[in-house]
Amino acid sequence: MLTTQCLCTKLRRSARAVTRVYDDALKGVGLTTAQFSLLRHLSRLEQPSISDLADAMGLDRSTLGRNLRPLESEGLVRLDEGADLRNRIVVLTPAGLERIMRGREAWDAAQQDVAAHLGDDKRRQLEALLDELATLDS
């Protein structure tokens, strides 16, 4: 791997490495990291619109739409009409909730693996730095 001083490249490499840990943990559940994260967000929100879910996840609507399609085809989420015909509501189905329950242990194990790799102090520092970077576009 080429060395670099580019923060963007380093962040993207790190994100891919961490995502692989979570993806490997979730293989037995049949979900990717992005899919599991989307389902978890959906479980914490009360039937959000696509726009509200996209905002909560820090995604644009088109990316969220692409991520929702396979979950919808598997029956894990459902799109319903909202009060405004231009906006749709995303509903977590019982099958989606069950998949979250099945994946929770694997997700927690991956979380513990990554945290153990860093140690407590570095994990806290990383969380603070990532929170700060997340406000760049605000």
Residue 138, pLDDT score = 65
CA distance 29 to 63: 22
pLDDT band at 81, cuts 50/70/90?
A: confident
pLDDT band at 52, cuts 50/70/90?
A: very high
Domain boundaries, the chain: 24-107
- Pull the structure tokens for residue 114: 């990554």
Residue 88, pLDDT score = 87
Query: Half-sphere exposure of residue 1, counting CA atoms within 13 Å on the CB side?
Result: 8
pTM over cut 0.95: no
Q: In sequence order, what are the residues at sequence separation of 6 or more whose Cβ sits closer than 8 angstroms to the Cβ of residue 11?
A: 133
- Give residue-wise pLDDT tens across range 13-26: 999 999 999 999 99
What's the fold here for domain 24-107? Arc Repressor Mutant, subunit A (1.10.10)
